[in-house]
Amino acid sequence: MELIFVFGSNLAGRHGKGAALHAKKVWGAAPGVGEGLTGRAYALPTKDRKVQTRPLSEIDKAIERFIACAHENQDKFFLLTPVGCGLAGYKARDVGAMVRSKNPPKNVVLSTSWLDHFTPAGGLK
């Protein structure tokens, strides 16, 4: 099975910082692709074309499209990073709740970087 790195992107496809830069350098994310499969990565837009943070309602729709892609590509494992929780500035509990509400398939797994967003009691910050 192919492993796909899922990262927070901007709609302009400028993969210049954080997980997006890593996706470009290591996973083959193509410049100019702000959403969808690109190389061995999936760009999930948390910022707009002007690199401004998108509202949670728009990120929620992007998560929906990502989950649909994962359902359609059962031959791939999708390693989901804490999208929206770094440069976009959202709380992991908010983004995590959106992901859970979409009932992701078993081929979507959380990266260990989500652990940085857990409280000692085991809940998301």
Adjacent-strand bridge partners of 124: 118
- The total number of residues shown for the chain amounts to 125
Q: What is the pLDDT of residues 9-53, one digit of tens each?
A: 999 999 999 999 999 999 999 999 999 999 999 999 999 999 999
Give the model confidence (pLDDT) of 63-114 as tens digits.
999 999 999 999 999 999 999 988 898 988 889 889 989 999 999 998 776 6
Q: CA quadruple 64, 66, 72, 76: dihedral positive or negative? A: negative
